[in-house]
Amino acid sequence: MKNNAKDIFYMKEAIKIAKKGELTTSPNPNVGCIIVKNDIIIGTGWHKKSGKPHAEIYALKKAGEKAKQSTVYITLEPCCHFGKTPPCCIALIKAGVAKVVISSLDPNPMVSGKGIQWLKKEGIIVKVGIISYAAESINKGFFQRMRIGIPWIQLKLASSIDGRTALKNGISKWITSSKSRQDVQIYRKKSDAIISSSHSVIMDNALLTVRKIHRIEDKKKYLKNQETIKQPLRIIIDSKNRMTPFHRCIKEPGKILLIRLKYDRNRWPKNVEQVILKNNTFRINLIDLLKLLGKRQINKVLIETGASLSGAFLKLNVVNEIIIYMAPKMLGNYSKPLFMLENYKKLQLVPQFSFKNVKKIGKDIRLILIKNKK
């Protein structure tokens, strides 16, 4: 194999093993590492969880003495700082590796570029940029939070073929099939937080939690250990203080943020935190909410709510992906729309996305749309 083809081959393998951490590494990124000597893989490792050793450390341990003069493939630039764990650069240098091939620079300002410089200074050959889009695509939330301080935002909706989400009287259970609703559980599981409004939570008596998954193929992929499901942070936009300590959702264990314009003096259970976020027109400041989530190391957010809040996020131009489950039904013009938006006077002004994927899920279709790059 030619050198570049070899690099791509091993890096693809490293990306594959990095994905094993998909549901557990946040707030840290998914990282995979493969150590190769004389065309034989002598060590592999992936990052499992914040606070646990990084991918390189597991791989170096497996390689042992053989790591001397080896080539190390890593999906992310090795760290050079003391976080919860010591710098991987030190471990690579100590092991005496000859070459380090990296997919992407680490966007973490404490590392970015400095890891590479350190390795080069020690005489290690460094190659950067092998299928870098792949390393980024498995860490969209981490990269976005490190670059602009806010999480990656997915907006999920369920609608009829005519783009309606509920009857005029509010009834919406169920427009889409149970297979689609199971599919949503996977998106919840991959998210660090879920945002909804008190209106939606009260109307649907929603819990906003991750439930056990029953579909066999999804179970195999994601849920070997269903008992240890990590529940995402639940965030409820409650501008009129409509949530009470007695709602079903509040009683369900797991942390909840109530985003409000003023405090309420009720006795709330310990899992509930009230956060006051006002903008200058006395409405909830959604941008400040996203910045707060970034500061709290939330990488990925799933918004599941009605037309008004979905429209508000869309107007702010912060939605990265829209996921729509569309059922082959018509609810008609009296029913509720997907988004409340402005009365646009020109087509150039309307929000525009691109289709990234279309898939049939049971009786429905799932559309994934991605924000257009400017």
* Helix 114-121 and helix 88-95, axial crossing angle in degrees, nearest 10: 20
- The single residue among 7, 14, 26, 28 that binds ligand AOF, judged by CB under 6 A, is 28
Residue with tokens 């050959």: 125
56 flagged as catalytic: yes
Residue 274 is a binding residue for ligand AOF (CB under 6 A): no
Binding marks (x or -) toward ligand AOF, 95..124, rule CB under 6 A? -----------x-x--x-------------
Segment near ligand AOF (CB under 6 A); pick from 81-89, 223-231, 272-280, 348-356: 81-89
CA-closest candidate to residue 277, choices 258, 294, 296: 258
Contact 262, 241 (CB under 8 A): yes
Residue 105 is a binding residue for Zn ion (CB under 5 A): no
Compute the distance between CA of residue 367 and CA of residue 37 in angstroms, rounded to an integer: 44
Catalytic pick from 56, 77, 136, 321? 56
Segment near Zn ion (CB under 5 A); pick from 83-91, 108-116, 146-154, 162-170: 83-91
- The single residue among 88, 102, 193, 206 that binds Zn ion, judged by CB under 5 A, is 88
> What's the min distance (Å) between Cβ of 106 and Zn ion?
9
Binding marks (x or -) toward ligand AOF, 198..237, rule CB under 6 A? ----------------------------------------
Residue 192 is a binding residue for ligand AOF (CB under 6 A): no
| Distances in whole angstroms, Cα of residue 226 to Cα of each of 50, 215, 339 | 20, 13, 34
Question: Which residue, 15 or 309, has its beta carbon nearer to ligand AOF?
Answer: 15
| Distances in whole angstroms, Cα of residue 238 to Cα of each of 96, 105, 257, 271, 362 | 56, 39, 10, 16, 34
DSSP character at residue 26 = T
The backbone torsions φ and ψ at residue 259, rounded to the nearest 5 degrees and listed phi first, read: -95, 120
Contact 167, 335 (CB under 8 A): yes
- At position 207, the amino acid (one-letter code) is L
Give the residue numbers annotated as catalytic, written as ranges.
56
The residues binding ligand AOF (CB under 6 A) are 28-29, 31, 47, 50, 54-56, 76, 78-79, 83-85, 88, 106, 108, 111
